[in-house]
A and B are shown apart, each in its own frame.
Chain A
Amino acid sequence: MDLLGRGLRPEGSQIGTTGRSGAGAGRRAGVVPGAPTPWSSGGATVAAGRSRVVSLGAMALDTGTPPALELRGLTKRYDSGLLALEDLDLTVPAGEFFGLLGPNGAGKTTLISAVCNLIRTTAGEIRVFGEDHRTPAARREIGLAEQDVNLDRFLDVEETLVYHGGYYGMGRVEARRRAQEMMDVFELRGKAKVRAPQLSGGMRRRLLLARALMHEPRLVILDEPTAGVDYELRLELWRYIRRLHSTGTTIVLTTHYLEEAEELCEDIALIRGGRLIARDSAANLRVAYGAASLADVYVKAMAS
């Protein structure tokens, strides 16, 4: 049983996808691998050095659904003077599995924090499914699993999930029911009464992901969800994330693992110095950069 998304669906069924979400273009029905996707133009890959990437978000136009995420002219300068994001434009269509790659300090976490209301932006506009990101309606649509394990030390596993649901407007009965489902999906039921600091590293990661999905968001943001986890757990997390995407949930993933981005993401953006320097499917990026692998693309893009 698939309990990750809205409504209960048998595992393996998909909404708007052809199968498991994965690398490159063409994972959606009717899309030829390697060809431009319906939601990005053939020329969407942007040469290194340009500050803006214009993604058409045509899928959103096709379906009438607003893009899951729209950033326009997003700029963030910290009080220290550090310019973390500079006039950044980005559109992530609803239902997409989007990857954001870049070195440490490139602006990935700042971008995510801006979307999730965790930092004050300097300029620009952020819309989540058409709503200003500061409104309760927009915030309800976002689920965030941060890079750092930031679990409430005073709450046990079940309370962590139930209270999170409550913060997002769930009633007690509904939150408890959903928490049971999440604990089943993420195999945490045996640890329901254990506080977060007593959990193993892998269980904390799973709890972070379960918490992010607790309120059934339509846009899930995963900030390096597999950083520092062993290979077995990484594969397990990939499985959870794929199932989530198969239910129609939009996913924004940041990662340092290029094979992870290639394996999971339909569309990939490269970010450096607070600017997007390229954005397309893994296949199209390889072609655009004349590279044999995404790793080569990454090296060339970051060096240019």
Chain B
Amino acid sequence: MSAPETALAARASFGRRTLHAHRGLLWLAAREVLRVLKLWIQTIAAPVLSSFLFIVVFGLSLGGRIKQIGGVDYDVFIVPGLVTMAMVQAAYANNSSSVFQARFDRYIHDILAAPMRSWEVNLGLSLGGVVRALLIGLALLALALPTTGAPIHHPAELVLAVALALVLFASLGVVVGIYAETWDHHTFVQNIVILPLTFLGGVFYSVDVLPSPWRELSHANPIFYLINAVRYGFLGTSDVSVALSLGVTAALAVLVVAWSSWLFATGRRLKP
């Protein structure tokens, strides 16, 4: 066997060993994705439809009556924020409900007793929300881009912003799913925290048009930075620098991932 063939065989062998060592993680992630697909009307179709209706109703019907924002047509301006909103809500809601349901019905015991490391359980439970959000995002892009003609000016920044957003909200969903004692707790965070912050983060407007002190207060909203990072990726415009937007989002993602990792590593809340 030649040297390149030997190296190739060694790499293939390493890949097989790695896959084998983390089979539990792969199966857990597959289970989370299976749940998303089995409930596709609720998990995929409904959020895609409602977000697309926002784009059609707010963008196409009102867009003609609202002047451009930052040199961009209104129907195009709202696309990044609405796509972001749909994706982060899906990532959060999926994981918080899946983890809470697993705790409520106690089938999470089957996972906690299995020979998986704590980070594998954490990652496996998180991936369902990530996949669901990506499916929704892709479906919305497929519908919204031809409808509105929204461009993608900076794909690398867009991918990075979406990745950070999904890590942040998928992990937040897992954390809330672990802490929640009732369904109300899960919906409280979604409806009373995430949804208002998303709307106030500039989905439908540029915070530059707000009077003081609302403009300054908007800068305290973490989702404002996320929406602007995604908007920069699509439109090339942003209310703040893209580096700051990505930095704030990354810092929050690190914080929430550290929180969920601590919960799984210590067993706090998961194990009495």
Contacts and interface: CB of A to CB of B under 8 A. Distances in A.
B23 interface: yes
B113 A152 contact: no
A144 to B, nearest CB: 6
Q: Which of A142, A148, A169 has the most CB of B within 10 A?
A: A169
A139 interface: yes
A72 interface: no
Contacts of B26: 166
A18 interface: no
Contact of B271 (A118, A159, A163): A118
Interface residues of B, number: 30
Given A155-B31, A167-B27, A167-B28, A117 B106 contact: no
Interface in A147-169: 148, 150-155, 159, 163-164, 166-169
Q: Is the interface of B mostly helix, strand, loop or mixed?
A: helix
B272 A120 contact: yes
Contact of A150 (B30, B31, B39, B105): B105
A286 interface: no
Contacts of B135: none
Contacts of B109: 116, 118, 144, 146, 150
Q: Is the interface of A mostly helix, strand, loop or mixed?
A: loop
Interface stretch (B5-13, B114-122, B170-178): B114-122
Contact of A118 (B23, B35, B39, B113): B113
Given A120-B271, A154-B34, A166-B24, A137 B110 contact: no
Contacts of B105: 150-153
A118 B106 CA distance: 10
B14 interface: no
Q: Which of A79, A120, A144, A211 has the most CB of B within 10 A?
A: A120
B107 to A, nearest CB: 4
Contacts of A211: 110
A47 B114 CA distance: 37
A148 B110 CA distance: 12
A43 B24 CA distance: 44
27 contacts: A118-B112, A118-B113, A120-B266, A120-B272, A136-B116, A136-B117, A139-B113, A144-B109, A148-B106, A150-B106, A150-B109, A152-B105, A152-B110, A153-B105, A153-B107, A159-B34, A163-B30, A164-B110, A164-B114, A166-B23, A166-B30, A167-B28, A167-B114, A169-B20, A169-B23, A171-B20, A211-B110
Given A118-B109, A120-B267, A166-B28, 13 more contacts: A78-B272, A118-B271, A119-B271, A146-B109, A150-B105, A150-B109, A152-B105, A154-B35, A166-B26, A166-B30, A167-B111, A167-B115, A168-B114
Interface of B: 20, 23-24, 26-28, 30-31, 34-35, 38-39, 101-102, 105-107, 109-117, 266-267, 271-272
Report the 10 A-B pairs with minimum CB-CB distance, sorted nearest first: A166-B27, A136-B115, A167-B114, A150-B106, A139-B115, A152-B107, A140-B115, A116-B113, A154-B35, A150-B107
